[in-house]
Amino acid sequence: MNYKLKPTKSFEKDLKRLTRAEQKMVARKLKLLLENPFHRPLRTKKVRGFDGLLECSVNMDIRILWRHEGENIILILAVQ
């Protein structure tokens, strides 16, 4: 399935706060997310207490919160 990324304003704001190296890591993980949202290196899992919200790992400190909306992947936050 071909997915499209739809970042929220809060995601874009969070992304700008990251260092250049961290932003590159996020870009690589977003490519994997487009190919397969449940690709093993992403360590995707459901967020407890939030219906339909998922998270995946960029590294041990950075997580991306997202959800499905049809063929779109809505990027909500990049949290440290």
DSSP, residue by residue, 17-34:
HS-HHHHHHHHHHHHHHH
Q: Give the domain extent around 38.
A: 4-79
**CATH number of domain containing 59:** 3.30.2310.20
pLDDT at residue 76, as a whole number: 95
Which residue from 69, 66, 70 is spatially nearest to 7, judged by alpha carbons?
66
Average confidence (pLDDT) per 10 residues, the chain, 80 residues: 91 95 96 94 95 94 94 90
Q: CA–CA separation, 33 vs 69, rounded Å? A: 14
- Structural domain total, the chain: 1
**Which residues touch 6 (CB under 8 Å, ≥6 apart)?**
69, 72, 73, 74, 75
pLDDT at residue 52, as a whole number: 93
**pTM of the predicted model, to two decimals?**
0.89
